[in-house]
Each structure stands twice: as C-alpha cells, then as structure tokens.
Structure 1
Amino acid sequence: MANEYPHIFLHDVQQSSDYTTPRSGGGNQDKLPTRERQVHSIRLQEQWAAIWTRAREEQASRIAVSMPVKNGVYIEFEGAAGYELVTKSLEHHTSGIRLLNVRKDLEQKITRATVFIPMGKQDFFLKKILEYAQKETLKGHPRHDELIRSVQDMRLAVLDSFWIDKQELLPQGELAVWCEIWLQGEAEKIEKKEIEQRFRDIALFLGIEVKERTLRFPERAVLLGRTTREQLVNLIASSPDIAEFRRAKETARFFLELENRDQTEWVADLRARLRINQEPNVAVCVLDTGVNNGHELLASVLADKDRHAVNPDWGLSDHNGHGTLMSGVVAFGDLTEVLPESYQIQINHCLESVKILPPYGENDPDLYGYVTVQGMSYAAIQAPERIRIGCMAVTSKDWRDFGKPSSWSAAIDQFTSGYDDVNRCLMIVSAGNISDSVDWESYPDSNLNSFIHDPGQSWNALTVGAYTQKALLSDPDFDGYVPLAEPDQLSPFSTTSRTWESEWPVKPDIVMEGGNLAKAPDDFISESDDLSLLSTCYQPTRRQFDKINATSAAAAQAARMAAQLQVRYPNAWPETIRGLMIHSADWPEALKRQFMTADRRGEYSKTEYGNLLRICGYGVPSLSKALACASNSLTLIAEAEIQPYKKKDNNSGYVTNEMHLYELPWPREVLLMMETAPVKLRITLSYFIEPGPGEVGWKDKYRYASYGLRFDLNSRGENKDEFMKRLNKAVRDDDEDKPDTNSDRDRWIIGKKKRDFGSVQSDIWNGTAVDIATCNLVGVYPLIGWWRERPHLQRWDRKARYSLIVSLHTPDETIDIYTPVATQIGVPVQIPV
C-alpha cells in the first residue's frame, strides 16, 4: 500500500494581476419585445398618471378615518410575456426609489417587480418615459430603450405584489397566521433598528402581534408577525418599508420508536476502549432537541457547561431523542461498526448541544434563522477558543423554495461568511427527508421530485443527502422482504435539487449513509432495524441504543468527518474543510448506473453528470483521501485572499480588480516518463459568500452572492502568456483579440455549464500523464456580485477568502508523484515505519 503523507499547503505562491472579464458579446436586445415607440410611450404615460391619481385618493380616504399612511407609493411593473423585465434600472438609491422584489410567473412567463417611490419622486420614471419617445443616445437609440421597452404594464401594487410564497398559503378570511415580514431600507437604518421600530409602531396600531426577534441583512430585516389578510393589506397602505411577505414555516422533527433492550455491557466495553482528548480544540455543535449527556458514552464528550437552549424555559435535556441520536453518531459514527470491535478508539473532538426546538406543544413559528445563529452564538460565548462546526438536521417540512434563498438559509450564509464578526464557520445541514410511505412506493422517482428542504439550499452550508449500503435483512419478521434500494444506490429517504432552476447551487453537496427501507411481497414498504444505523438512546435507564436513519444520520456522519479533518489540520479554514470533503467524494458505480445512461462507448456525457450532481452532489466522501496524500496521490492546497473589485481610476464606477495565477509545483518529469499511463487531475474551489437575500430577482445588481469566483486550467501546450490572455482581457493589448487556443473544454467530466453554480466548484480530468504534465497553471478570477453592483453598502473594496485544492492521482502505487513536489518546495518527507 502507498505511504500516507499530509496534504501540502502552499503559502503566498499566487501571482496577482489586474483583471478584466473577457467580453462575451450579446446584450438584452433579443430579450426585449418590439415596440411602436410613440404609442408605447403614450400608453405608459396614461398608466403612470392613473397610478398617482389613485394613490392620492387612497391616501386621502385613510387620513379621513385616522389610519396611518406611508410617504410614498408601491408600484408593480410587469414585463411582456416571454421577455425579460430590465429590473436593474428600476431602482435609484439616492432618490429613495427601491426595488423591493421580483417575481416570475413560470406558467405565463411573465416577470413582475414591486418598487417603492417616495412622494415627490414620481417624475423620475415619467421623465424616462418621455425621453424614450423624444430623445436618442449618441448611437441613435431611444433613451432608456431597454427599460421602457421591457415594461408592458404598470399598476398600484396590491397584496399579491408582496406575497412571495404559494398563493394558497395566503391568510384567508379572518384567520391570523404567522408570516415572515421582510422590511427594506438603508443598511445603516436597518442596523440601528430605525426601520424596525417604525414598523413595530405601525404593527401595534394595526393590532398585529410581532415576535421580538429580528434577522438583519444588508438592506433587509425580517420579523415574524401573526396577521390576517386584511392586516397585510393595511400594512402595505401604512408602512413605507415593506419588501415582501412569506408564510412562516414549521420544522420537522424526526424521531423513532424505541426498543427495550439491555445494552449496558456493550456500552461498558466500548467506554473502556475510548481514549478521549481532555482538552479538545475542535467542537461539533449539535442544534436539535437537546442532548442527554447522562448516557455513559456521551458524558465524556459533552460537558454540562456545553449544553444550551435558545429558550431557558425549555430545559437542556433531550425531550424526544433525536438530538441524542445525532450526538452519538457525531461522536462515534454508526455504533454497529464500532461495538463489535476490540481496538481502542481515539476521540479528539468534543460535542456541544443547543436546544432549538420546544419540548411540548406546537413548534413556535419563530424565525429559525435567528434561532440557528443564536444557538451557535451561545456555544461560542461559552468556549470562544474552540474551532466550531455546526451540525443541524432540523429542516422545514416543505420544500416550496425550490432552491431560492429563504430567511433561514440566508441567515446561515451570513453567519458562516463572517459578515458580522469576520469569524467564519462551517455549517453542516441535512438535505431533508422523504417520510411518506406513499412516496416510497415510487422510489426513486419520488426522490427526483422531492426537493431539498429549507435551509438546505444555503450556499455556504455543506448540505448532506443520503445513499445506502445497508441491504441485509435478517429479522424473521421481515421474511420475504427485499431492500428497496440496492447497495450503493440513493437512500429512499434522500431529497434532491434535480428540477431546481440551474442558477441555484448544486445540492446536496455530498451523500453519506442514510439507511434503507424494506419492501414486502405485497409491495408494502416499511422501516427495519436491519437497514438503519445505531446510536445512543436519550433514555439510558430504559435502553442504551436506538436506531437512526435518513439525512439526519448522514449529516451527523458528515459532521464527524469534518471534525476529524479539522483536528488533523487545525489551521485549515472552514472553506478548506468543506472543500476537502467534496474533493474526496466520488460516485459509486451503482449510483451512477441508477441515474445515468452511458453512450455506445460506455461513457457518460456532461449532461448526465450534471443531472447526477443535482441528485447526489459529488458523491460519497472518503475520509482517508480527505485526511492524507499517498506517494501516488498528491494534494496541493492554497488558502488565499483576493480583492474582487475596485473603484475605477476616474471614480465613475466599479470594476473587477484582480485575478490570481498559480504556477503549481508539478511532478513533470515523472509524468512525462509515465507517458500514456492514466492520471486523474481534480480541482476544487471553495469560498463563502455574503448573502443579499430578498426576492429581487437575484441577478444584475441584485445578485444574491456578494461575489463569485471561478477557476480555469491551462490547456495542453498553452503557455503562461497565452493562458493569461485567454482568461484576462486586462493583459491583452488594446487591439488584441482573445487568443484562439484550444481550452480543452471536453477534458472535464462535468464542465463549466454544469459545475459553476453556488460557492463551491469541483471537476475531474481523467487524462494521460503526458498530457497533464504541462497543465500546472491555474487561474482564479472573480465574477460580478452585489459587493460591486451595490457600492453604497460600502463593501466593494473587501477581500474575499477562498481555498483552492488541486490533486493528482495515479492508480499505480509504485509511482511516487508526492516526493518530487515536496522536495521542490522544501517539505520534508518522512517515510512511515
């Protein structure tokens, strides 16, 4: 077997250069309807006048009955069916004109946007409408052509203009329901709670119950209010700060029936074999139903002082068992794998518990993003010196977001990005489960049509789905049953993002063991102890063990793996830990055959891999690959900061700033000697974005991500100068076109069109040694994000962190590609004894 060595971290080896994005041409002209210029302008002028006449009438009627009124008007802009609405021109920050939300009617193919316009600023758009008809640009086009041509209709906004959720979830009649109320405003006023207090005063007048907790984002605040339909309408008429409404969500708590077995002797044996680090610097914080650390196995890894609750009235102990089940897996893995053994087990991380669910009654319809962040903060206050990994298998019961950011997922993105305190953190969340036996009957089609649950769409979180290797049924009560999934196929519990719009991140990121289901001869499907994982029971006086499965079990295993990696590399960034887990992942052949169709040559297309990504992410991670290199397997890691944007020299705007180029130390001579031997090259880029949540289209200057990064690799025979000119317009002469070089697009098994979504990208090139020998140039370059497009938020000059992971692997264990690179950069290589 090849020797094991630590990964090689490269420090300050990147070369920085000014960066200008290569232009791809195009524009919006083909996405806009054809208009009769004068006729269209007159029609919009008439609509505009009618809007303001109606607005004044409504305000006068409210004042007459002493109802509060806002100092402005909400207007809904509608695009033409089948065409884009140019939303980027609907906001003017200095005038107080704000784009509040953008909604797409997929059935009618119509885009609608809601805009707030202060009183006295109504001429801003009227002037554009008039200039469209009367004036032209230097190039001879109508002024404001793209904006005005894209607008089909304008009207006063109504409740539907703010309701971002499904229409059937709107409050009906006099029934009051809990809703998320999203407020908009200047970032400074949001931070100082000025807008929040103004809203609370109005809500109090209208008799709306509002929770104390608030989530705050750049230019957005989210509160929870119990309100009727009529009260929502009154809010729109009274408050100038409304951006959108959504129905509040309840969370799902997964727990299993308990079995009465005496397992004390097994616990004693395992406890005697445990070697616990008494001063761990890595902790996994389990956000769940609480944990009973009175269990003998958990007492040594979870101290009383490390148990918390977001509501002190809930107590600290586990009230239904799920949190204790999660903790057992986070600490020890699947107990069925460790109980029968006799070897010693070293535990170098500890546990923390935060109770985020109530022990009785209905779930409090609170802002779970706030609860999640507060829970992690409680743990950090108790032990600020620890490196902390969050683990949460609490998800919404529904998946109506379809990949779009929610207040919950955005809160996780903001917390992990270090937006508030610069301290970044890795959060691991479960993808959510299919728990309906009716859905199980249509496995695996039900998985393809059941989407990742909120907050699993978080860009920064490592979202974990489930596959299974459990297929042995020995229980006599299940005689004649067969496992529903074959070994190494998708777990019947796991959800996917297969039908999300492609702009959203690939989720889940990885899959881990989640158990299986049993199918009877009459097609009845049920759970089975044989097909589940084993963990610690929350009632150790009654029994020591209980079963756990689905994406809860998968997320807990992922958290344990992350902790082991963090212990091995204590200085590694959380972006790196997430990146290593994804970088080490692969798809079992059974999983590929289950969802992919090979061509005549037995190969899979990029489209097939793209579909697979949306079902099971990058596959099953390997702890051994993530932990260490081998002599025939080399992993290079660069952690760096890049400043994506800068102000133009003439102060007239903001542009991309720099890119990084890596000339990686490479075992070139060894690879050339290997000639046509197979080598796998893999690159993973991992970074955490800051969120810009709110339903404002998530494009143009309203992008959700603060910035984007991408990587590229030089082609075979492409030198440094050619590579830079291909990637970077800034290094070309003024009259020089993009070089006509072969970029080897076909070499990647996934490709840019399928992998380049979210805040982590990974791809593989299975090539020959001689081809890969000359490909050691990697470029990291920025894409547009809201840091650049919304400069008034004063984050355009911030630096962004990323982790770049590059590996080479050859199946021939007699080949040493590690030592030549380690020698080049002065890393001592110790031969294991």
Structure 2
Amino acid sequence: MMERNERKKRHFILGSIAEPERFSRPQRIIEQGKVPERDRQRHGAALLGQVEALKPEMLAAREAQEEVGLDGGFGLQVEFESFPDIDLAFESLARERSGIELQNVRHQDQRTYATVFVPDGKLEHFEGLIRDYLEEKRDKAGRARDHKTLINAIQQIRAASLRALWTDDLQVFPATDDETFWWEVWLPVCGDRAGTVANFRSLAEAQDLQVAPGELEFPERTVLLAHASASQMRRSMMTINSIAELRRAKETAEFFHALPPQEQPEWLEELLGRTRFTRPDEAVPHVCLLDTGVNNGHPLIAPALADRDLHTVEPAWGTDDTYGHGTAMAGLALAGNLAESLDSGAPIEIGHRLESVKLLPLDGANAGDARHHGYLTTEAVARPEITSPHRRRVFSMAVTAKDYRDHGRPSAWSAAIDRLAADAEEYGGTPRLLIVSAGNIDDPNAWVEYPYSNETDGIHDPGQAWNALTVGACTDLIHITEPDAGDYQSIAPVGGLSPFSTTSLTWQPRWPLKPDVVFEGGNAAKDAFGAVWLPSLSLLTSYHVPSRRLFTTTNATSAATALAGGMAARLMSVYPELWPESIRALMVHSAEWTDTMRSMFLPAREKPSKKDFENLVRHCGFGVPDLDRALWSLSNSLTMVVEEHLYPFKREAHKQPALKDMHLHRLPWPLVELEELGEARVEMRVTLSYFIEPNPSERGFRSRYRYESHGLRFDVKRPSESEDDFRARINAAARNEEEGTRSRGDDPGWVIGIQNRHKGSLHSDIWQGSAADLASRGILAVYPAVGWWKTHTRMERYDTAARYSLVVSIRAPEIEVDLYNAVANLITTPVAVEH
C-alpha cells in the first residue's frame, strides 16, 4: 500500500512518443529437421496402394451425398498418420486452390495425425506426389522435386473415422455408440460460410440430428451444437463431409449455496446513510454482470441499477434473480466486501453503476438450453450495448464450465471471449474489457489436500481466454468466529492462495500465464473429519430476497471476479480516456505477491530462477492488485502509460508478408536523479497489454494456422549496449520469434525473463538492480511476433494495425527522492524527435 502521508499524483499518460522503425532482418541459414530415409520403392508402393483403396470409399461417399440431395461439394475426409517421433509436415498436405483443405491436426502417442478434406476427383493429387517420390523427380535445374520430406514422414493414409475428427480430450470421447450428448461441431468456411452452415443444418436434420439455434463465427471456423449419439454422428460422416472438428459441449458450473448470516437491517441503513451514489444520468462507468440476473429491489443495489439496465438473453427467463448468485455478485462489484464497509464507519463514494444480463436460468446449469455458451455470451454482451452503445463498461462473468479438460487450449467459448474483447466483428473498432473467473475447486476432499489440490485442478473454460483478465482467489480470512466450530482451523494461511482457486500448472508451457491476478475469495476450514466452508471465512454481500434478509455470504473465484470488476470501474472513473487494454494493464501492473505466496511457491534458496517465478504466476497470477498503486504515482514511485498503434506486417507486390515495424520508445527518464542514487536498489516494471484476434482450430500452434492474429513483445536497452546494438538485438529477437527459436542471453535482472513472460497477450515483468544501472535503460522496444495475419495471406489482414498499451514504472520505495517531478519537467520541455 502507498504511504498515507504522501500526496497522490496522477500517472503520466504520454502522447505518441513511439518512433516506428522498419525491420532489418538478419540472415540465418536454418537446418531443417531430418526425416529418416525409407526404402523408396517399397514405401511409395505401399502408400500408392492405400490411396487406391480410398477410391471406392470416395465413390460411395459421392453416391451417399447425391442421395441426400447435394449437388456439389462432394468429397471424403482422409486421415494421414506419421511415423512415431516424426513431425508430419501437415501444412503441405493442403491445396486450398484445389479445394483440398486441412481440417485438424492431432498429436498422440508420439505421432501426428492430420485430417484433410479431399474433393471428389482430387485423390490424383496425392497419387502425383507419391509418383514424383518414386521417380525421384527433379526440375530442369536438377533440384529435387520429389516431396521426400513429406512422403517419408507418412506411415498411413486412410478414410477418416469419427475419432479422426475428435480434437477434444480422449477421456470424454463417447464410451458407447448409444451415448447421446451435445456435440460442438466445427465447420470450415469453405469460401461460403452461410452456404456451409445451411448445408450442414439441412443434412443434419435429414439424419435426425438436433441442431441448436445460433452459431459462433471465427475467421476460418463456424461452431454449432448438435445433439446426437455417437452412432448417429458416425453414420452421418459420409454425407456430412464438411465437419472439421468435433468436441463435447460443456455444461456450466454449479454455483455454491450461500449460508446467510443473521439478519441485521440496521447495518444497511447506517451504511446507506454515509454512501454517495451516482445519478442514473451521469456518464460514469458501469460493471455489467453476466450472471443469473440481479434483483435491483435490494436497497443497496437500487440506487445503482436502473430497470432499463436489466437484460436477459432469453425473454422467457425474465431478468430477475431467483437463484441469488447474480445479486450477490452485484453487491461485491458495487461496494466490495460489505463486512469491511459496515465495520469502518467511513464515508463511501461509489463512482460507478451496474448493468445486468441474465445469462443463466435459475439452476445455474443451463442444462435445458442447447445453445452453447460462447454464442450466449456474445448475445449477452450485445444486449446492453444496443441499449446504451456509448457507455463505458467492464463485463464481469463468473460462469465457468464444470470440467477443465482444455488444459489451456482455446475452446469455442474462450475464443468467443477473445473475439468480443478484440471487437473482431468490427475489426477492432471498440474493444471491450472482459473479466472472467478462473473457476472453483468445490470438492471439500480436495481442500484438505491444499495447496496440492490447487496444482492439479486446472483453470476452467473460458478462463484460458487470452484477452480476458482471468481472476483467481486469495485470502486474508483466517479467523473462525462460529461458536460451534471450535475444532476447526482455517486451511489457507493469511495472504495465501485460496483453497477454492484453480491454476494453470497442468497446462502445456506454450499457453498463457493464468490467472492474471487474484482477489479475496475466502477460505475453508478443516478438522479431523474433513473440510467445510464457513460464513466467517467468506465475504458479506447482498441477498437476492431482501424481504427475507438483507445480507448473505459468498466466496471463491466468483466473489474475486466481482471485486475485480469493481476495481476496473474505479480505474475507469479516474482515467476515462484510457483504453480497455490499459485498464487491464494497470490492474496487473499494480499487483504484488504476498510474502506468503512467495514462501509457498518459490523455493527456499537465495535467488529463485525465472522458471520458479513462472510457477508462482501460474499459481497466483501476478499477485493481488492494489487500487491506490493502480490509480496514483508518488514522488519516488512513478508510472507512465503509453497507448500506441503498430503495423506488425506488410506485403509488397507478390511477395509473402513480412515483419514491418517495431517501435522504439525513448521514455522521459530521470537520468540525473538515478545516477545520483548510485548503487541504491530500485525497481522497474513493464507491462504490455494488447488484444489478439482469435482464429481457433486444431491445426498446430506454430504453423500458419496459429490461434493469435499477431503477437507483440517488449525489451529494454541494457547499460552495455549502444542504441545500434539494441536495435540489432531486437531485429534478431523478432527473427527468432518468427522461426520459433529461442533468443539467447536473457538479462539476469528480470524476474520472469523473456523466455517465460511472452505468453498470451498480456506480458508483465519486473527488473531489479542498482539505480545507476537503471539510469541507462530509458529506451524500450515493442516489436511484433508472427500470427495468422501474416501467415494466412488469403484472409488479407496483413496490413492491419495492432494497438497496444505499455505501462512502465520506476520505484524507489525505500529512498526519499523526487523522481516524479524530474519526469514532469522533461515532459513539459519540448524534445525534438526524429522519425
């Protein structure tokens, strides 16, 4: 927390200070991974025989497709299997001009499996590749054109089975042919999105598949829900040949039941007497809760939530909250933990208001509605925006799926969150801030195993969304006051991770560092017989039936997410001009790990490694945000915010797209003051926040089918570097990103380090060292990394601008020095900038 006696100062919101520079790409010869040689004649003949065996299946597929009324688009799904421990060059299987399209890629048992749609008459393409291989074909210049790298990697070619289209966790693959459930059906666009969807719906209906209304649209995929048995889906594969992927649709998590405290209506009257609310007509930020609805008849909520701001995704559900979860979240988002407010007696000023969209029916499970959650969430976001399109708002959603089988991999739901945040529908015109919960560990048996249960319970869908602020739970609540709970002890220590909080420890390393932050989510208690949750270890909030009682308790990541929404709204009130990317960045930038978190998840050695800190982030995010630190600078602790646009890629004439610009930021730097501090220990923190446009499909995360539209990275000039040396290092780093190789020579002063921090679309790191060392680090680079805007040329997005927010802080918390005014003087003095 900030010193109480220090006068708070507004952060520096800098103008356009970036200097765009074109890349000068260093040359490097890349040695391709070797594929073992095969007996060319035997191997080629075997593959030719496998392709020949596909011809009667192709004929049967065409006849079946004609029989159901198709007049075009005939073809067969074909699966290619690699040899063990060989990376199949799956991208070279596709020939999109010929209609041969890669549908999905899977990795299992050290093999690569690729499913490809082959149009009727196009099997000859693969026959041609194999014959070139058998003949050791060369061009006129004598260069090999025999495709041996591809052909030597393929062990088997066969008609695709239902399993070939399954890209979900194998543990949820249907156990029997009779099992009936909702399937996520991922369709390719095939040059005609509407036609592909219409054909699927028509054919599915003819096959007695029930298809839910609504769909999710991504650049190269459309996702629908279909209700069918495995046998129905298998029989339909021959006629419905447009399916790229199949996954099992998810059910939403059951919400906990609140254990209400004793009614104390006089507390609320006293609280309302010292609380100032904004008027309905004031242009203030709103926290929009996507939940079970909110009952705005509650005396605490009524002044902040107008009837016109109550919405629902399904008119038959109404807007009221019959379950209680949404109203509980409303109290926290508006006024925080009421136990603290009621106990303080201090005046309270609430500078934001609420909106509500009922996303779930009363049971909180959505079992009776077939429409999938990504589509419903998209609909929910649209409701208040139609009513009040120019309102500044933050969306808060504590709804998650019951399972966590994605392990960080994008899902239809998380990709929909990313698409909404980036405003991909309108090409980034109005990005949104979405805050989502990490999901809860709700098994008391698991709480007893704390904190090991946190490591094995992964963050729930859609908490893996790159663009969302994903919120986990911590706790300071350890005092048990129930008179009949004398044998219980609180499970988590003060300042520790909450027993309810999920983590990303089980994710593959390439996926984002989640959660991003943690907020208070309450604690659990245990005795010799097991674990329970108790009101005294929970947060106090508003009850949904005020005629019965005014207060109830709530906990876990839902409560933490509501608190995060309230903090975001407070930041937006003070800095109304800042982008959503900047608000997200400031919340993460203000976060710190507690001493308890460090002792729990960092090894007990003098200097933990960067990998150790990555492990800490995957448990606790970047720590607990601090509202004062997010809002204000001090004399010896200043923050600068830069908002910029960068063109990451370019395409010239008929060349392939290439990297275009990087930005050099020459920050207003208190050079003299830092040099005078000499060897005194100081800290610099950098946070880079941007929104990617998602393109989900299971076709390889480092291929041209990447999920993210683009990536951005940051680095800081080192004391020993000249500016030209720094520029050359950034060019090399961008090249390494493009080629998927590691940059060497990580700066030891960084806590997380360049190898670990650049995951997802939110990057934060802390540099620690001497003030004299920091004095020469006033130049910072932001540079692009490859994404599908560059690699997918037919989408023609390679000339799109990417906007980003950059937050940089200098902190000398133990030293009396006026760094703030030194920077303020530099900003007011005109500085010539060369472009």
TM-score, structure 2 as length reference: 0.94
- Of 330, 355, 359, 2:358 maps to 355
- 1:660 maps to what in 2? 663
> What is the root-mean-square deviation of aligned Cα atoms in Å?
2.2
- Once the two structures are superposed, residues 10-56 of structure 1 have per-residue CA deviations (whole angstroms, 9 ceiling, x without a partner) of 211111111255567645414x3443444333332222222223322
Letter in 2 for 1:553: A
Given that residues 661 and 778 in structure 1 are in contact (C-alpha distance below 8 angstroms), is that contact kept between their aligned partners in structure 2?
Answer: yes
Rounded Cα–Cα distance in structure 2 between residues aligned with 1:430 and 1:10: 32
Given that residues 180 and 245 in structure 1 are in contact (C-alpha distance below 8 angstroms), is that contact kept between their aligned partners in structure 2?
Answer: yes
- The structure-2 alpha-carbon separation of the partners of 1:580 and 1:211, relative to structure 1 and needing over 3 Å to count, comes to same
Rounded Cα–Cα distance in structure 1 between residues aligned with 2:518 and 2:620: 6
Moved more, 786-795 or 284-293: 786-795
- Once the two structures are superposed, residues 474-507 of structure 1 have per-residue CA deviations (whole angstroms, 9 ceiling, x without a partner) of 2121102111111111100000111211111111
Unaligned runs of 5+ in 1: 733-740, 829-833
- The structure-2 alpha-carbon separation of the partners of 1:742 and 1:431, relative to structure 1 and needing over 3 Å to count, comes to closer
Rounded Cα–Cα distance in structure 2 between residues aligned with 1:269 and 1:24: 71
The Cα of 1:287 is off from its aligned counterpart by: 0.4
Given that residues 507 and 614 in structure 1 are in contact (C-alpha distance below 8 angstroms), is that contact kept between their aligned partners in structure 2?
Answer: yes
Residue 607 of structure 2 is aligned to residue 606 of structure 1: no
Letter in 1 for 2:430: N
- 2:416 maps to what in 1? 411
The Cα of 1:621 is off from its aligned counterpart by: 1.1
SS at 1:330 equivalent: helix
Matches within 5 A, 1:244-643: 244-259=245-260, 261-278=262-279, 279-359=282-362, 362-421=367-426, 422-520=429-527, 522-599=528-605, 602-643=606-647
Rounded Cα–Cα distance in structure 1 between residues aligned with 2:267 and 2:552: 13
Given that residues 668 and 823 in structure 2 are in contact (C-alpha distance below 8 angstroms), is that contact kept between their aligned partners in structure 1?
Answer: yes
- The structure-2 alpha-carbon separation of the partners of 1:397 and 1:729, relative to structure 1 and needing over 3 Å to count, comes to closer
Letter in 1 for 2:153: S
SS at 2:784 equivalent: strand
Residue 14 of structure 2 is aligned to residue 10 of structure 1: yes
The Cα of 1:425 is off from its aligned counterpart by: 0.2
- Once the two structures are superposed, residues 228-261 of structure 1 have per-residue CA deviations (whole angstroms, 9 ceiling, x without a partner) of 2122123321123211111111101313244363
TM-score, structure 1 as length reference: 0.94
SS at 2:151 equivalent: helix
The Cα of 1:761 is off from its aligned counterpart by: 0.8
Given that residues 68 and 239 in structure 2 are in contact (C-alpha distance below 8 angstroms), is that contact kept between their aligned partners in structure 1?
Answer: no
SS at 1:39 equivalent: helix
Rounded Cα–Cα distance in structure 1 between residues aligned with 2:471 and 2:67: 56
- 2:752 maps to what in 1? 750
Moved more, 52-61 or 528-537: 52-61
- 1:737 maps to what in 2? none
- 1:831 maps to what in 2? none
SS at 1:746 equivalent: coil
Letter in 1 for 2:297: G
- 1:803 maps to what in 2? 805
SS at 1:640 equivalent: strand
Given that residues 260 and 535 in structure 2 are in contact (C-alpha distance below 8 angstroms), is that contact kept between their aligned partners in structure 1?
Answer: no
Given that residues 523 and 537 in structure 2 are in contact (C-alpha distance below 8 angstroms), is that contact kept between their aligned partners in structure 1?
Answer: yes
SS at 2:217 equivalent: strand
Given that residues 296 and 305 in structure 2 are in contact (C-alpha distance below 8 angstroms), is that contact kept between their aligned partners in structure 1?
Answer: yes
Letter in 1 for 2:451: P
Rounded Cα–Cα distance in structure 2 between residues aligned with 1:781 and 1:36: 46
Given that residues 19 and 665 in structure 2 are in contact (C-alpha distance below 8 angstroms), is that contact kept between their aligned partners in structure 1?
Answer: yes
Matches within 5 A, 1:817-828: 817-826=819-828
Letter in 2 for 1:205: A
- 1:223 maps to what in 2? 224
- Of 701, 706, 724, 1:703 maps to 706
- The structure-2 alpha-carbon separation of the partners of 1:438 and 1:730, relative to structure 1 and needing over 3 Å to count, comes to closer
- 1:29 maps to what in 2? 33
Rounded Cα–Cα distance in structure 2 between residues aligned with 1:527 and 1:465: 18
Letter in 1 for 2:625: P
Rounded Cα–Cα distance in structure 2 between residues aligned with 1:563 and 1:608: 33
Given that residues 2 and 632 in structure 1 are in contact (C-alpha distance below 8 angstroms), is that contact kept between their aligned partners in structure 2?
Answer: no
- The structure-2 alpha-carbon separation of the partners of 1:759 and 1:386, relative to structure 1 and needing over 3 Å to count, comes to same
Matches within 5 A, 1:655-694: 655-694=658-697
- Once the two structures are superposed, residues 211-237 of structure 1 have per-residue CA deviations (whole angstroms, 9 ceiling, x without a partner) of 111111112111111112122123321
SS at 2:268 equivalent: helix
Given that residues 180 and 247 in structure 1 are in contact (C-alpha distance below 8 angstroms), is that contact kept between their aligned partners in structure 2?
Answer: yes
Given that residues 734 and 785 in structure 2 are in contact (C-alpha distance below 8 angstroms), is that contact kept between their aligned partners in structure 1?
Answer: no
Aligned residues: 810
Given that residues 413 and 461 in structure 2 are in contact (C-alpha distance below 8 angstroms), is that contact kept between their aligned partners in structure 1?
Answer: yes
Moved more, 240-249 or 457-466: 240-249
- 2:792 maps to what in 1? 790
Rounded Cα–Cα distance in structure 1 between residues aligned with 2:170 and 2:82: 20
The Cα of 1:659 is off from its aligned counterpart by: 0.7
Rounded Cα–Cα distance in structure 2 between residues aligned with 1:169 and 1:729: 43
Given that residues 20 and 657 in structure 1 are in contact (C-alpha distance below 8 angstroms), is that contact kept between their aligned partners in structure 2?
Answer: no
The Cα of 1:127 is off from its aligned counterpart by: 2.4
Rounded Cα–Cα distance in structure 1 between residues aligned with 2:66 and 2:712: 51
Residue 728 of structure 2 is aligned to residue 725 of structure 1: yes
Matches within 5 A, 1:94-109: 94-105=97-108, 108-109=109-110
Residue 817 of structure 2 is aligned to residue 815 of structure 1: yes
Given that residues 62 and 75 in structure 2 are in contact (C-alpha distance below 8 angstroms), is that contact kept between their aligned partners in structure 1?
Answer: no
Given that residues 755 and 762 in structure 1 are in contact (C-alpha distance below 8 angstroms), is that contact kept between their aligned partners in structure 2?
Answer: yes
- The structure-2 alpha-carbon separation of the partners of 1:771 and 1:212, relative to structure 1 and needing over 3 Å to count, comes to same
Letter in 2 for 1:319: T
Given that residues 169 and 406 in structure 2 are in contact (C-alpha distance below 8 angstroms), is that contact kept between their aligned partners in structure 1?
Answer: no
- Once the two structures are superposed, residues 724-783 of structure 1 have per-residue CA deviations (whole angstroms, 9 ceiling, x without a partner) of 112126999xxxxxxxx9955212111122111100111111110000100111111111
- The structure-2 alpha-carbon separation of the partners of 1:265 and 1:746, relative to structure 1 and needing over 3 Å to count, comes to same
The Cα of 1:353 is off from its aligned counterpart by: 0.3
- The structure-2 alpha-carbon separation of the partners of 1:61 and 1:85, relative to structure 1 and needing over 3 Å to count, comes to same
Rounded Cα–Cα distance in structure 2 between residues aligned with 1:27 and 1:467: 47
- Once the two structures are superposed, residues 313-368 of structure 1 have per-residue CA deviations (whole angstroms, 9 ceiling, x without a partner) of 00111011000011110000111110122222111111100001112583424210
- Once the two structures are superposed, residues 187-227 of structure 1 have per-residue CA deviations (whole angstroms, 9 ceiling, x without a partner) of x622xx22111111101111111111111111211111111
Letter in 2 for 1:754: N
- 1:72 maps to what in 2? 75
Rounded Cα–Cα distance in structure 1 between residues aligned with 2:31 and 2:556: 46
Given that residues 70 and 237 in structure 1 are in contact (C-alpha distance below 8 angstroms), is that contact kept between their aligned partners in structure 2?
Answer: no
Rounded Cα–Cα distance in structure 1 between residues aligned with 2:604 and 2:661: 41
Rounded Cα–Cα distance in structure 2 between residues aligned with 1:23 and 1:408: 41
Moved more, 525-534 or 356-365: 356-365
Moved more, 624-633 or 92-101: 92-101
- 2:833 maps to what in 1? none
Moved more, 169-178 or 336-345: 169-178
- 2:238 maps to what in 1? 237
Unaligned runs of 5+ in 2: 736-742, 831-835
Matches within 5 A, 1:74-89: 74-89=77-92
Letter in 2 for 1:604: P
The Cα of 1:284 is off from its aligned counterpart by: 0.9
Given that residues 255 and 321 in structure 1 are in contact (C-alpha distance below 8 angstroms), is that contact kept between their aligned partners in structure 2?
Answer: no
